[in-house]
Structure 1
Amino acid sequence: MSRSTADFSRPTPTVHPSDGLAGALTRNIEALAERRRHEDERASTQDRLAQLITRFAGSMAFVYVHAAVIVGWILVNTGLTPFRPFDPTFVILATVASVEAIFISTFILISQNRAQAAADRRADLDLQISLLSEHEVTHLIKLVTQIADKLGIAEAGNPELRELQRTVAPEAVLERMEEVEEDR
């Protein structure tokens, strides 16, 4: 939800001490749950259908239904039931199973693409929050170092603190990571 469409008029949820969670954490959990509900509501009919089929195809109910159908098919077509065989060579069964596999794999890919897009958005959010936190911590270290200098605390000259005061350039980190990967 963009900042311009966020509902800031809603009251801040109250946190019961028995929850054991900080108020900010509870608000974040509720905001993320609301975001997911909103994304699910915005999903197209095609995406919802693909998700529904994928969810069923990944369930034990799917396995049980298929096991029953296949066992019944085999029993009928091997002449072990009073019903007349309609696929004694099992060509129709093989064709139906192949076509079904094509469609189910396509639905799974559609669902995976949607899940990957959501994961990419969450990863981008994580990166932005991490970069913001890094920026804030760097400034806090600088401020605390200045306070320590004013108070004459010897730790202020610590070389590690000077290193931590340097602003991290994300592009440089990514380039270095790529160089290390290429060297492998």
Structure 2
Amino acid sequence: MTVPGRPGRREGRVTHPVVAAYREVRAQQVQLRVADAITTFAGSMVFVYIHAAVFAAWMLFVETSPWPSLTLVVSLEAIFLSTFVLIGQNRQSSFQLAKADHDFVTQELELETNTDLTRAIHAMTTELHRRALASEG
């Protein structure tokens, strides 16, 4: 659950801003949630066990010559599952690109801030050194 008024915060822990935006977009689109659910299920061992049982039952009890029908069903299923895999890969690719872009901008800002701080410290050290030498002489 997102904490109201605090983007990037979920239940007491900080979440990467790109992850927070990603979750919001996915939660708003039904077709993306359905694709996620199918991909999650298809990538589980339960999916494998169910298919092994269904295919075994089909070959043993449903048809006397199961190969033509079973091949058709399995081929159609493979087509749809490969489509869901591609959807997932495209989504993951765009997520990683958005996260990398955000991280790059953040790191560049940190580098600029560190450079400014280093310059300020150098200027202060130089001034202190100048004053110390002036007070000795």
- Shorter-chain TM-score above 0.5: yes
1:28 aligns with 2:17: no
CA contact (8 A) 1:57 1:104 kept: yes
1:67 aligns with 2:44: no
Structure 1 consecutive aligned stretches of length 4 or more whose deviation exceeds 4 Å: 30-34
The C-alpha deviation readout for 1:32-85, integer Å capped at 9, x for no partner, is 775444222223x32222111111100111011101011112222xxxxxxxx5
CA contact (8 A) 2:35 2:84 kept: yes
Q: Would you tell me which structure has more helix in proportion to its own residues?
A: 2
Q: Normalization by structure 1: what TM-score?
A: 0.58
Alignment correspondent of 2:101: 124
Using the alignment, how far apart are the partners of 2:28 and 2:52 within structure 1? 36
The letter for the 2-side match of 1:98 is S
Q: Normalization by structure 2: what TM-score?
A: 0.76
CA contact (8 A) 1:54 1:108 kept: yes
Task: Tell me the C-alpha RMSD between the 2 structures.
Answer: 2.6
Alignment correspondent of 1:93: 70
Using the alignment, how far apart are the partners of 2:27 and 2:66 within structure 1? 46
Using the alignment, how far apart are the partners of 2:38 and 2:31 within structure 1? 11
The C-alpha deviation readout for 1:144-178, integer Å capped at 9, x for no partner, is 1111111229xxxxxxxxxxxxxxxxxxxxxxxxx
Aligned length: 123
**Structure 2: 5+ residue runs without aligned partners?**
131-137
Instruction: Give the direction of change, closer, same or farther, for the CA distance of 1:96–1:58 in structure 2 (3 Å limit).
Output: same
Shift of 1:113: 1.2
